[in-house]
Amino acid sequence: MSAPPPRVTHGPGEPYVGTSVPRVEDQRLLDGRGRFLADLAAGALSVVFLRSTEAHAVIESIDTTRATDMPGVVGVYTGNDLPLARDYIGSLHTPDPGFVAATGFRMPEQRLAILPVDRVHYVGQPVVALVASDRYLGEDALEAVDITYRPLPAVLDPSASLAPDAAPIHPHLPDNEAGRIEVEFGDDVAADAVAVTVEGTYRIGRHGAVPLEGRGVLARVDGQRVSVWTSTQIPHLVRQGICEATGWSVDAVRVVVPDVGGGFGTKANVYAEEVVVPVLARLTGHDLVWVEDRQEHLVGSAQGRDQVHRTRLSVDREGRVLRWEDDFLLDIGAGGLWVAGVVANTAIHLLGPYRIPRVRLRGRAAFTNKTITAQYRGAGRPEACFALERSLDDAAGRLGITPVEIRRRNLLTAADLPYAQPLPYRDGVPIVYDGGDYLRCLDSVLELLPAETVERLAAEHPDLTIGHGVGCYIEATGRGSFESGRVRLTSTGGFEVASGAASAGQAHETVFAQVAADGLGCSLELVTVRRSDTDLVRHGVGTFASRSAVLAGSAIRRAAEQLLDQATGRAAQLLGVSPDLVKSTASGFAAADGSSEWEISWADLATACAPGGAQEQLGPLDVVEYFHPETVTWTMGAHAAVVGVHRGTGAVSVLSYAVAHEGGVEINPQVVEGQVIGGVAQGIGGALLEQFRYSPTGQPTSTTLAEYLLPGTCDVPDVQVRHLGVATPCNPLGVRGAGESGTIAVSATVAGAVEDALHGLVRVSETPIRTGPLRAAAEQIRREGQ
């Protein structure tokens, strides 16, 4: 067990950024005083959804008469009964035209119906919404809704879906291609330079976030307005989705985010339920609530991954990469509003943290009859990382050098960085890795978890054959276009901070307060961070893609500085001195001119700008700032794992894990460490356990947590984390995103360690790793006496 890293504590007068002040939300969340969506439900009627039982079918009829007569039923609604301006939710991301031109990116318009009336596309798709006095009666009545389906062949394999003769799943489209991209650069490689070419097929299984708290929506009509509480990461995009579907103005809709028990991307989506519940609230005049249950979650909430990569990697005699080619396929299920993001992320992150002179990538996304997808933590990056890192391990094996060595020879170093790629990022700006020294991360992770650890652990675990693996990743973080930050002086002289970047448990209440307190020069206790609410900040984008600290943090920082600036001027005016004599103090302002001293507190300022105060006409001290980054900033890291494969059963245990990452300034090191550790836990789930599986007819078979296996605390080892901070000039805080750092390289790293444990007798090219079949190799190693 590793000693906990030293905590940077906060001293008087020092900045809060960079210190591990305790998370202010923990007390509330841990002692049960969190207010989650379901905690707000009292008094509301229940909405329940009847979901498709077919993977692909024509709806021949829906008969709601019996259900309408059931006790407690207020109404039963099909898609035909909803007054919608548009019956689908639009794409959540469109890449910049410059990126489209450079990569041939294309995607068709998706129109998955909010409540379909003619055709269903996956098991779990909501078809009928029913309003009842409570959920008990609602579920009873659902059983009385009669739907007749005429089944169509379910398309479950993305290659089959893209075959030229495949029937389109979505009738408005000519085929099943949901997106495509092509990236090519560099000169052809002379054949005699190539020492080894490895080819592979890598499959990353379908898994997802499965947060502790599922989704949920509460809607309340108040005169002309509808207020919607939803367990989301992206309140403003939900508002936009509701408005586009209903035709309501953005001023008529308020979206509020209560405490959220985990999101990880599955809640960075706009869902049919988020439109239907407010529409029905308006239609019925009742407060309405829907709380997703776990069974609904496992079929109805957006999933992720599900990619196949066909790769070809050529290296020279020294193991230097000469050429990298990948033809990849994404299965986005029946739809994915982030398909552009995931396709582009996959392609861009296939470039890795390495010098690669010649690249040819082609990616296609396919519609199938599986559950919809969104951006699950990493969103294309873990998949890209798996393909590239596994190929590097393969090439190293053929050359007879170690996995560490091949990376050492290819990683970008201080001499290479910043490093330009001949490609624009999704925002159209040419890609430049703004890092410090990527090789240092590899060295550092090996210090934390050296290959020699294998011998010690082998002695401790005679039943296991032990191996060591490494994996490196790169991550574009802090994507625009913008994020909002608001800082406001309260009537009692404190500050309220709000942002469009909603928290799903990531400690926004703490880290944004740290940022604001530094910008204001005030003490942390004066700052309260409000939960996201579109009435508090009119514009925003949301929390995903490792962006909140970078963008919302920067916006809050600037808003705080501006507020301080304005306040200084006002203080000077009130004190009757020149502004340059005024200094801010922890509790307000002070001025001195040699003979006299004056002081004014924040509370005095608040009184002055309130009605009746001396500065009433100046209005409240209240600043909203939008931060638009020029482009993304890059985080890089290296993972190392030691795993044991059980000789008798093939079971894989991750015994030890380490991450060294080059992030930027850490606002709160302990929070970053928590993000990395949690990310590793989710990565281990994806590498070894989690998979959404389907029967040949498209019936999901991972429909309870007995089939969809999540790692528990006993299944995740201690994770050592080392942060190698390199501030970035891209934003005023110098921060880089860290939310996905822990997840991205786990599958690649664990796979490498498993292969090492089995002395290369087995090639791991698929996640989750099927462990039973490993036992034969483990047994062979035992018989041969290692």
Kindly tell me which of 12 and 712 has the beta carbon lying closer to another protein. Answer: 712
**Least distance in angstroms from the C-beta of 135 to another protein:** 6
User: Do strands 196-207 and 588-592 pair parallel, antiparallel, or not at all (unpaired)?
Assistant: unpaired
Using left for φ > 0, alpha for ψ between -120 and 50, and beta otherwise, residue 784 falls in alpha
CB 483 within 8 A of CB 547: yes
**Least distance in angstroms from the C-beta of 245 to another protein:** 28
Kindly tell me which of 66 and 456 has the beta carbon lying closer to another protein. Answer: 66
Nearest Cα residue to 128 out of 109, 111, 148: 148
CA geometry: angle at 343 spanning 339 and 346, to 5°? 140
CB 557 within 8 A of CB 733: yes
**Least distance in angstroms from the C-beta of 298 to another protein:** 11
Kindly tell me which of 288 and 474 has the beta carbon lying closer to another protein. Answer: 288
Q: Bridge-partner residues for 106, per DSSP?
A: 180
**Least distance in angstroms from the C-beta of 689 to another protein:** 6
**Least distance in angstroms from the C-beta of 676 to another protein:** 22
Kindly tell me which of 167 and 776 has the beta carbon lying closer to another protein. Answer: 776
Q: Is 158 helix (H, G, I), strand (E, B) or coil?
A: helix
**Least distance in angstroms from the C-beta of 129 to another protein:** 16
Structure-derived torsion over alpha carbons of residues 617, 618, 621, 627, reported in degrees to the nearest 10: 130
**Least distance in angstroms from the C-beta of 48 to another protein:** 9
Kindly tell me which of 669 and 685 has the beta carbon lying closer to another protein. Answer: 685
CB 340 within 8 A of CB 668: no
φ, ψ for residue 635, nearest 5 deg: -110, 140
φ, ψ for residue 661, nearest 5 deg: -135, 145
**Least distance in angstroms from the C-beta of 325 to another protein:** 34
Exposure string of 525-546, with b = 16+ CB inside 10 Å and e = fewer, is ebbbbbbbbbebbeebbbbbbb
**Least distance in angstroms from the C-beta of 77 to another protein:** 20
Residue 277 CB-half CA count within 13 A: 32
**Least distance in angstroms from the C-beta of 651 to another protein:** 7
Kindly tell me which of 544 and 694 has the beta carbon lying closer to another protein. Answer: 694
**Least distance in angstroms from the C-beta of 101 to another protein:** 45
- Cα distance between residue 558 and residue 551, in whole Å: 11
- Cα distance between residue 227 and residue 233, in whole Å: 17
Q: Bridge-partner residues for 468, per DSSP?
A: 642
Please state the separation of Cα 3 from the chain's center in Å: 29
**Least distance in angstroms from the C-beta of 297 to another protein:** 10
**The 3-state secondary structure of 91-148, one letter per residue:** CCCCCCHHHHHHHCCECCCCCCECCCCCEECCCCCEEEEEEECCHHHHHHHHCCCEEE
Kindly tell me which of 103 and 771 has the beta carbon lying closer to another protein. Answer: 771
Kindly tell me which of 217 and 591 has the beta carbon lying closer to another protein. Answer: 217
**Least distance in angstroms from the C-beta of 460 to another protein:** 17
CB 502 within 8 A of CB 531: yes
Kindly tell me which of 481 and 701 has the beta carbon lying closer to another protein. Answer: 701
Kindly tell me which of 530 and 775 has the beta carbon lying closer to another protein. Answer: 775
- Residue 419 in tokens: 């490093």
Kindly tell me which of 514 and 691 has the beta carbon lying closer to another protein. Answer: 691
Kindly tell me which of 135 and 170 has the beta carbon lying closer to another protein. Answer: 135
Kindly tell me which of 79 and 138 has the beta carbon lying closer to another protein. Answer: 138
Kindly tell me which of 206 and 426 has the beta carbon lying closer to another protein. Answer: 206
Q: Per DSSP, which regions of 478-573 are E strands?
A: 483-489, 495-499, 527-529
Please state the separation of Cα 234 from the chain's center in Å: 11
**Least distance in angstroms from the C-beta of 366 to another protein:** 24
- Residue 295 in tokens: 């069974």
Q: Mutual orientation of helices 235-246 and 272-284 as an angle, nearest 10°?
A: 60
Q: Is 572 helix (H, G, I), strand (E, B) or coil?
A: helix
Nearest Cα residue to 487 out of 565, 571, 549, 560: 560
Which residues of this protein are in contact with another protein, per CB under 8 A? 135-136, 138-140, 143, 293-295, 648-649, 651, 688-689, 693, 701-702, 706-707, 709-712, 714-715, 771-772, 775
- Cα distance between residue 476 and residue 466, in whole Å: 33
CB 238 within 8 A of CB 374: no
- Residue 508 in tokens: 């926004």
